[in-house]
Amino acid sequence: MSRLTDAELIRRFRTGDDSALEALFERHEQAVYHFLVGLLRNPHLAEDVLQDTFVKALERVSEVQAERFKGWLYTVAYREAMLARRRGKLAPSSGAAVGEPASREPDPCTLAGQADEAHLLRQLISQLPEAQQRVIHARIYEGKPFHEIAAALGCPLSTALARMHQGLHRLRQWLEARHG
């Protein structure tokens, strides 16, 4: 089922094949969910809106080209998130940023959730290039905003952000390789 295209899954979903719906969830829910968390800054609300998104998108799936289903999901998710904002369900987008440390105290265990994970992360971060390490350390363990980090490192803001992105991307690859 996982090898089928979105078009084929949608065709099967229309015939009442529940496993096709399950495959669509598996394929797209995580990306749309993270998109909504980024927009709404609230995981619980993001899950509510994710539910609305799938319902609306699948109710009107006949109106969209199946090969553009993921783009359609994002469009519906965006509209539903804006509706949720207008209903006053959440703080504005200028609220707490995702990835902001909960405490200014350097606490790897809290930041990573579990002590083992924190230890592993620290090990992996230490293997990153020096420039990336410094940005990640300043952001995650010292809680500094990026414009301060950029000023401290003497580089443009976009460079500090790019180093952060590169470092995180590499960390994800290493973690995925470890967890299989």
Partner 1 sequence: MADHSEPTNLAVSALAYVCGELSPQARAAFERRLADDPAACEALSEAVQLLGLLDGQTPTRPTPAYRAAVRHRLAPPAAPGRLTGSSAWWQSLGVGVLAVLAVCVCLAWPVPQPQPQAIGQRFGNGQDSPRLPSMSQQSVPVRESTVTQTTTAAPQPATHQPDPDELLVSVWADLSNSEHLQKARLAHQRRQQRITDRDTLADPTDRRYRRGGSR
Which positions ≥6 away from 128 have C-beta within 8 Å? 136, 167, 170, 171
Per CB under 8 A, does 133 bind partner 1? Answer: no
Please report which helix (H) or strand (E) contains residue 102, including its range.
Answer: none
**Please, which of residues 44-103 interact with partner 1 by CB under 8 A?**
46-47, 50-51, 54-55, 58-59, 70-71, 74-75, 77-78, 93-102
Contact present, 112 and 121 (Cβ < 8 Å): yes
Residue 13: CB atoms within 10 A of its CB come to 19
Tell which one of 7, 31, 91, 151 touches partner 1 (CB under 8 A).
31
- In this complex, which beta carbon is closest to partner 1, that of residue 7 or of residue 97? 97
Q: Cα(35)–Cα(147) distance, rounded to whole angstroms?
A: 24
Q: Which of 64, 85, 84 is closest to 73 using CA atoms?
A: 64
- In this complex, which beta carbon is closest to partner 1, that of residue 12 or of residue 54? 54
Nearest distance from C-beta of residue 66 to partner 1, angstroms: 15
**DSSP string of 25-50, one letter each residue:** HHHHHHHHHHHHHHHHS-HHHHHHHH
CA 135 to chain centre: 20
With contacts defined by CB under 8 A, how many residues of the chain interact with partner 1?
67
Per CB under 8 A, does 34 bind partner 1? Answer: yes
Tell which one of 9, 20, 23, 32 touches partner 1 (CB under 8 A).
32
Q: Cα(179)–Cα(157) distance, rounded to whole angstroms?
A: 33
Nearest distance from C-beta of residue 40 to partner 1, angstroms: 11
Tell which one of 4, 11, 17, 110 touches partner 1 (CB under 8 A).
110
Contact present, 74 and 82 (Cβ < 8 Å): no
Per CB under 8 A, does 115 bind partner 1? Answer: no
Binding site for partner 1 (CB under 8 A): 18, 21-22, 25, 29-35, 37-39, 43, 46-47, 50-51, 54-55, 58-59, 70-71, 74-75, 77-78, 93-102, 110-114, 117-118, 121, 136, 139-140, 145-147, 157-158, 161-162, 164-166, 168-173, 175
